[in-house]
Amino acid sequence: MSHTPATAAKIIPFNKPYLGAEEFQAITEVFESGNIGGNGKVGSNLSALLQQKFNLHRALLTTSCTHALEMAGMALDWGPGDEVILPSFAFVTAATAVVRQGATPIFAEIDEKTWNIDPADVERHITPRTRAIIPVHYAGQGCDMDALMAIAKKHNLDIVEDAAQGIGAKYNGQWLGTIGDIGAYSFHVTKNVICGEGGAFLTNREDIAQRAEIIMEKGTNRSQFLRGSAEKYSWVYIGSSYVVSDLLAAIARAQFAKMDDINQMRGVVWQRYQEGLADLADEGLLVLPYVHPKAEPNWHIYGFRIIEMERRAALFDFMDTRGIKATFHFVPLHSSPYGLDNLGYKGDEFPITDRVSQSLIRLPLYPHLDPADQAFIIETIHDFFRGN
């Protein structure tokens, strides 16, 4: 049966925010309260909900996951001469959080099955200057945190989890973002739980929590002063303005209440792709995503690799003619202009990263993706390989 929704008037977007009456009501209530600034009741309540759900000592709402990662660099006092290891296959902010502190990002290879950082390659890059490791939980699937935590303990390193894509996912029974010294979530409009722009800084260490509160309050001890644990409200450390308004917090709180349902619905969509493309993988045309036995993903991304990489652009074009907005992902950081010009990389150091980056195709995935539209996407990919 042929399904043809993708005409000039029908586009299947790559991402579509899952919003409803709950988010509208939440914003309305904040407007009516007149308290639309930061450090309000809604934001405080969401922080408490995050702490309760994920068994955290402290969850601080931030204006983005980028800012949460920047706070991590400040809280851990990275500086010139320090090195931080992270995957080259990552969004740029994992690296810029290091560079902004004057420290040096050191890239490591990824595992070809999970597309997450390879612990063995991490250990090969450790030097006396190494201060921390940033595992990036790609597509909402946890990195091998058992191995990474063992390496960190052996070499006395901090772990900062970039869990921008990982809210609600687990590794070996533990929530992503809560396993290391610091975690960072994103509530960007493309993520599973959204508020447009926003994030969260997570930690179970009291020393880090105290410093992070100061950093996000412009370098002042305002939070401690309001709690009565400081006599004066003053400038005490470096910082910036990372506080989220209650308007954004209201959207995020309404979304967070639906997180389990959102992730479950995304999982249904993810599994339909996995089953619908299995025959092409069996024929050696595609490599489908792999789920590690210890991982409990949140199904943030569905991506596969095309074996004949030189045909990837043609497949993108073929889907686009039918209104399907698929996309690639990260340009590896080691081969980016900054990596080449400023960090001394040649662009050929990480062949697995390059292969994954150059062959990856991500498909539309959101909770309310119409099953008929998804069937059309799967049919279109088959048509490409069948010459239809």
Confidence of residue 171 (pLDDT cuts 50, 70, 90): very high
pLDDT tens figures, 144-165: 999 999 999 999 999 999 999 9
pLDDT tops 80 at residue 6: no
Closest CA to 163 of 148, 141, 181: 141
What pLDDT shows up at residue 39? Answer: 87
Mean pLDDT, residues 188-210 taken together: 98
Q: How high does pLDDT run on average in the chain?
A: 96
Domains of the chain, earliest start first: 21-256 (3.40.640.10), 259-386 (3.90.1150.10)
What are the φ and ψ backbone dihedral angles of 168, each rounded to 5 degrees?
85, 0
Say whether pLDDT at 255 is over 80.
yes
For residue 16, is it left (φ>0), alpha (ψ between -120 and 50) or beta?
beta
Report the pLDDT averaged over residues 341-352.
97
**Integer Cα distance of 318 and 323 in angstroms:** 9
- Dist. CA 183–CA 71, nearest whole Å: 11
pLDDT (tens digit per residue) in 97-128: 999 999 999 999 999 999 999 999 999 999 99
How many helices and strands, by DSSP H and E, does the chain display?
A: 15, 13
Mean local confidence (pLDDT), 309-335: 97
Tens digit of pLDDT for each residue in 377-387? 999 999 999 99
**117 and 143 in contact (C-beta within 8 Å)?**
yes
Residue with tokens 């099953």: 371
Q: pLDDT band at 9, cuts 50/70/90?
A: low
Helix (H, G, I), strand (E, B) or coil at 296: strand
The pLDDT score that the predictor gives to residue 53 is 99
Tokens of 311: 């045909």
172 vs 190: CA distance, rounded Å: 26
> Percentage of the chain surpassing pLDDT 90?
93
Residues contacting 235, CB < 8 A, separation 6+: 218, 219, 220
pLDDT at 388 over 80: no
Rounded CA separation 104/96 (Å): 10
Rg (CA), the chain: 22
Residue 111 tokens, joined = 């595992």
Close Cβ partners of 104 (under 8 Å, ≥ 6 residues apart)? 82, 83, 84, 98, 129, 343
First to last CA, the chain: 14
